[in-house]
Amino acid sequence: MTIVRLLDEAAIALAVVLGLLAVAGLLLLLHRRIDRLGRTVTSERLQLQQELDRREEYVTSLARELMNPIAAITYASHALMRGTADVLGFAAGIAAEAEGAAGMVRQLGDAARVESRRLRLALAPTDLVGVVREVVRTFDPGPRHRVLLEPMPPRLIVKGDAGAIAKVVRSLLGNSVAYTPACEVTVEVKRGPDGRSAVVAVNDAGPGIPADERPLLFQKFARLSTAGGTAGAGLGLFLSRAIVEEHGGVLSVAWPEQGGSRFWFSLPLEEVAVPD
């Protein structure tokens, strides 16, 4: 009996020890999970604070940007009320400044729709070559730049929203002209190497983007050091990428060895393209 009792007690003690070890293991696992959760919460709080700081900085910057056209419109309006002679010149200035301010507001609305996943496109068979030609034809690069079209196929049909695609092309052209000294900007439209996509590329000979700032290039509210005194909401590339991705395409940038930038996007072809 004594031996049996000892064996029973030993078994009970062993079970207790094993139970305690299991509890200790669970407590250690729980501690590690709490520690990871704490680090995750801390990291997310830091990211949230950085996002809030970035938005506060952006709102302050945007307010300054909007004050410029408002100040110009106010000055021109007062000049007209005083009977200044150059009526047409002031009127043209008011129209240009008002359109610039309205463009910023439209971009803010588009950005809100992208973030809420309410960006709606009217997709239909669209001649990409025709869209690009029309944008280049109506785009005003100013007296210090020229926009040249490289040879391209007669047409490339994609399933797209012509207005939205035109907005992307215009945004890329605007960036190249705004951040590039006097030079030529070239535009290419061609079939992709896979034969199932069309590619649009805008090439410039500007200073490019510093390597440490390139990860920010397509983020919303991004204003890089190369922006200088140029006006803008810092949303053009963010919105352009969202539009292209909504089409099932890709928007990216390359940095040629000879300098400058090459912004390009691809869209899936709707039908077999006419040979070059």
Integer Cα distance of 124 and 247 in angstroms: 11
Q: Which residues neighbour 87 within 8 Å (Cβ) at sequence distance 6 or greater?
A: 80
Running DSSP on this structure, what letter comes out for residue 226? G
Integer Cα distance of 40 and 145 in angstroms: 49
Task: Tell me which amino acid residue 92 is.
Answer: A
Integer Cα distance of 273 and 276 in angstroms: 8
Which regions in the chain score pLDDT beneath 50? 228, 272-276
What is the predicted pLDDT for the residue at 157?
95
Q: Which domains are assigned to the chain?
A: 1-118 (no CATH), 124-268 (3.30.565.10)
Integer Cα distance of 179 and 236 in angstroms: 13
What's the alpha-carbon Rg for the chain, to the nearest Å?
29
What is the predicted pLDDT for the residue at 36?
82
- Contact, 187 vs 202, CB < 8 A? yes
pTM exceeds 0.85, yes or no = no
- Contact, 182 vs 205, CB < 8 A? no
Q: Which residues neighbour 10 within 8 Å (Cβ) at sequence distance 6 or greater?
A: none
Q: Phi/psi of residue 253, each to 5°?
A: -145, 150
